[in-house]
Amino acid sequence: MNILLTGGAGYIGSHTSLLLIDKGHAVTILDNLISGNSKLIPNKANFLKTDISDEKKIKELLRKKKFDLVMHFAGLVKVEESLLYPDKYKLNNVDKAKTFMNICMECGLNKIIFSSSAGVYGNTSIMKKVNENSELMPTNPYSKTKHEFEKYLLNLSNEKKIKSIILRYFNVAGADEKKRSGLIAKNSNNLIKAVCEVATNKREKIVINGNDYDTQDGTTVRDFIHVTDLAEMHAIAAENIGKKNSEIYNCGYGEGYSVNQVVLEMEKILKHSLSKEIGKRRKGDIPYSVADTTKFKKEFNWNPKYNSLNYILKSALEWEKSFE
């Protein structure tokens, strides 16, 4: 297939590009490099530096090349930043995305796989997994933009203007086993990134944001999925898009690990303890977020390859060691 991919210089977009290329697909990446990193763009991918709302550049590309589908990763992703700059998030994640989709439809590109977020579910019931039909209650501007663009795509799908697959990511972690890509982020609030930075002496200590939640050990619980398994889910979605007007799938493993469990597992890998302290709860943090992944597993007979917290942490640590 010939696949157009926005945000391919980012963490998840670059991993997905690598996997698609490894499978023999042709990939063209659009990225403005504002948050992406050119070092993550695969050598075998075609690359166009552009904003997704640049009508002239994108129309020119779509008239020259015929694509089978578009994977839309581009967007801003920091929850804390979205609380400070909600208008910026709406502009980039909704308004510009709609402009881009309209350009695609005008040029005959009407199949889209969209990177959404488990954040659309909001504060779920304690210790209860969420499925694709669970109530949507996004609690911050970032997840609200994901929800808004989901609704936009579903409306277009219902009008039979496009075919769409929406993938709701839970907590993505780990790195490519060949160390071709991993998470590059300054002052990251990503737990596993922070733990790896402390493990490699790039950060002084781990701050555990709250230990008084109503969970097994008082710290928040998350469903961590290895980024390469998530990339594989995109490849499977690409092979199956178009069979229905629209579909939504959770992307996780259906297993929850607390912050304390993640830190403890890294300490086991390192064979020594890490510097850590208990901090205040972060505004908007959800106590428990774990996916019910039955739908994707059943429909595509899918079994993840990297469903191991130990492997996720080791691959992230190896990337952190290799990347300065």
Q: Is the pLDDT of residue 180 over 90?
A: yes
At 125 the pLDDT is 66
What does the pLDDT read at residue 16?
98
Q: Which letter, b or e, does each residue of 89-127 get, where b requires 16 or more Cβ atoms within 10 Å of its Cβ?
A: bbebbbebbbbbbebbeebebbbbbbbbbbbbbbebeee
Report how far residue 270's alpha carbon sits from residue 253's, in angstroms, rounded to the nearest whole number. Answer: 25
**Torsional sign, CA 112, 115, 119, 124:** positive
Distance, in Å, from the CA atom of 75 to the CA atom of 31, rounded to the nearest integer, reads 10
User: Which of 218, 231, 204, 315 minimizes the C-alpha distance to 265?
Assistant: 315
Closest residue by Cα to residue 191 from 203, 173, 176, 164: 173
Strand bridging mode 111-117 / 69-72: parallel
Per-residue pLDDT tens for 278-304? 999 987 788 999 999 999 999 999 999
Q: Which two tokens stand for residue 128?
A: 């209860």
Residue showing tokens 């890998």: 269
Residue 185's pLDDT band, with cuts at 50, 70 and 90, is: confident
* Angle of CA points 271, 225, 166, to nearest 5°: 165
- What is the pLDDT, as a whole number, of residue 324? 67
Q: With both helix axes pointing from N to C terminus, report the angle between 227-240 and 11-22 in degrees, rounded to the nearest 10.
A: 60
In degrees and rounded to multiples of 5, residue 275 shows phi and psi of -70, 125
249 is catalytic: no
- Dump pLDDT digits (tens) for 58-70: 999 999 999 999 9
Sheet holding 26-31, edge to edge: 46-49, 26-31, 2-6, 69-72, 111-117, 163-169, 246-251
Q: What is the pLDDT of residue 32?
A: 96
Range 95-108 average pLDDT? 97
pLDDT at 262 over 70: yes
Name the catalytic one among 121, 142, 249, 288: 142
Calculate the average pLDDT of the chain.
Answer: 95
The whole model's pTM is what? Answer: 0.96
In this prediction, residue 286 carries a pLDDT of 86
Q: Could you read off the pLDDT of 214-233 as tens digits, one per residue? A: 999 999 999 999 999 999 99
Domains, the chain, with CATH or none: 2-173+224-251 (3.40.50.720), 191-223+254-290+306-322 (3.90.25.10)
Tokens standing for residue 59: 């129309």
